[in-house]
Structure 1
Amino acid sequence: MSTQNFNLPDVGEGLTEAEIVAWKVAPGDTVAINDVICEIETAKSLVELPSPHAGVVGELLAAEGATVEVGSPIITFVTEAAAGAAPAVAVAPAPEEGGGSVLVGYGTGGGATSRRKRPAERPVRSSVGVIAKPPIRKLARDLGVDLTTVVPTGADGEVTRDDVVTHAQQASVFRNIETPEWGAVREETVPAPQSAPSGLARGVSAAPASAPVSDDRTESIPVKGVRKATSSAMVQSAYSAPHVTVWKEIDASRTMELVKRLKASPDYADIRVSPLLIMARAVIWAARRTPMVNAAWIETEGGAEIAVRHYVNLGIAAATPRGLLVPNIKDAQDLSMKDLARALNRLTLTAREGKTSPADQQGGTITITNIGVFGMDAGTPIINPGEAGIVAMGTISQKPWVVDGEVRPRWVTTVAGSFDHRVIDGDGMSRFIADVASVLEEPALLVE
């Protein structure tokens, strides 16, 4: 018997630390290689860590909620491997920016690596007989779905992603899975930090050292992970790019009619369709006519330059359980209406699962934020860093509207856009928003 330490690995995102979100094992548990031992959260994604050893869990060396540096020990295993033997490892592909591979599960031995199935690739049967992969189980938890009530359609009775989504009858695209409400008592307290597990690694604290003390009138929320990354990016954007916002109220009745027809079309039977699809097509179409909204301000040693992109990596601001993410659809200008709808569906589901990859959040050229799903009419969004424009789509609701001199009920919405005034002037901003509005008023403009 021997004791093996497992250090927090580099998950291939170029980050130096991560938070222990939840332990999936406890001291004394028996684990196999690739069993999920914990969930960690970085500034970019939520990751399940697989066990690199088969044996018995010894100690948990980092508490839930602790921020741990890469390379610090987080757990020990008691194994039957001879002392000095090389433990099994799993190799994950490196991100697009780099080459080679990055160790996801590793020990201290120097033996040759071997590729094993990740936990997401292995179905797990629970005590009640439901067969589902770990990501599907997490999705079900996030959506509040009891897997024992889901009708499986996968091979050998396995519950698939589509089974869970269909059962949950998901709400509007990119709406928060659950919006917290005030409890009966307006003021709440934060429980005192729990004592760290025995053997807590030196240098690893159960709570941030700088966290303010909570009392019976306030609640202290540490700024870390996605919130920390988002706040830093928004401050950088707000104080470096001079924002100007314009907006226009429009009659979107024909957009709603088109959405209704697409939903009824057999060609879209397996695709979720919403007004966001028409909005996305409108932004792509309008960006072709006013390319500067799709450009970027680049600081150089000699001053600055404007990079005009002749492609559209369309960002969609997504309110997820982990916070605001902005994944983007690469080369969206080349997609048909149906392919764009499928891409939006995939982006939606991936964001809901918390599986949006760092690569999916990089390289965006222009962004849409759908604030209408929260009942908001309009807003002044902040530009995503590295871009020159962001478009906000407000709620679509029936309002009185003058048509041919008569007041009639119509589906009305507001389109707003914020722009970097260093890159694009007022006439360009106005033309772009007018073009987007024109498409939403008459989607037939998309037929070329």
Structure 2
Amino acid sequence: MDFCVQTTTQLILNEMRKKKNESAKNVIMSPLSMNLMLNMVASGSEGKTLEQFLKFLGSDGIKELNNMSSVIMSLLLASASASTSSPPATSGTQKPLMQPKPVTTFFDFNDQHLFSKKTEQQQQQQQPLFSLVNALWVDKRFQLIPSFKEITETIYKAKVENVDLYNEADHVKKAVNSWVENETKGLIKELLPQSVKLEPPLCLANALYFKGAWEDPFDASMTRDNKFHLLNGRTIQVPFMNSHNDYLCYASNDDYKVLKLRYQRVGERTDKQIQFSMYILLPHDRYGLQDMVEKFNLDTKLLAPENLNHHLRRVELSHVSIPKLKFSYDVDAKELLEKKGLTFPFSEKDADFSNMVFSPAINVYIGIMLHKSCIEVNEEGTEAAADTFAGTMFGCSAYSEPPPLHSFVADHPFVFMVVEEFSQLVLFTGAVLDLEN
């Protein structure tokens, strides 16, 4: 997971380093989605390709990768099980905010808050919805290696579909896009653009969807337009969500502040219940984001939820102000990973996926790897989705407790993460750089 988090911090730095005549984009990626896809394709690799996967993923072997993926699966099953306890809609076609989604054969791939404002009935209706589904489209002329097929179906709960990638590639691409749109509840509508050409022997995808209601929602009547300071020195007016004199988890050090906003819990109140949270890391200096992210890029442990939680304290904040967010980001993950040094899986000459598919006369490699994420944050909570696609081809610092009644005003660029606290898994991470578009 550290490698995928570091990949995101590199993306943020790339955006901030753009030329002055290029506009920096807000960044969001899902380290969890990326990590699961890399784990899955790594389980079909061998030789030097496998060795390189293990090096970058920080694992000793395939067994460890599969164990990590099993943890993710367990989290999803627990989340889905808890969500199904929510009451169904009672009338009309309008869905409740947190309508449960059962797990199907698709795989369908801390402290108690002392000041909760929600009733028990409201909490049941708004439990977080979290799903991560996996799928493979395999050309009918090829056969998956039995061990790889078993891993994808039992550990990753992936749907495997036989298709014709020689004669009906456009039809398959439409099917992939339709599957992604459905599994992300319409948030990601076209992962594969017209320019992408699918080729045998197979392609893989996963889709992650999260929707959570704040444990303490913002009062929409207090939302106001205010100034957001861009890195280029300009200011723009955007809607800010506001609260006053709330007790929240907060920390501050020499360079930046950290605020943790919890989503409503999932499951029974036990020591191992599922708890999602958003962390916002805000540099003190309006123009200090690049220095902050460069530190994170050198040492991703600074971003580890365990490290952040060690220093957070529940304190009263006089004023919390956070901009409403709605944006998406897509990236050529293949190009990005190659620049980070993960090259063998994408090399026609060097790739070894002999544990994935029977291909005695050809060499299989990853020709396409795309990632797209989107997020919306408003007074009620957060809705986010991500998708990672891989298509194969062939050819021959220290914190201190802040003084009372400090404030947290995110009126300049910042970094955020959405985390599941018990497993310490990072669902999403990114940076807000420009809210003008």
Q: TM-score, normalised by structure 2?
A: 0.26
Q: State the structure with more CA Rg.
A: 1
Of Structure 1 and Structure 2, which has the larger fraction of its residues in strand? 2
Q: TM-score, normalised by structure 1?
A: 0.25
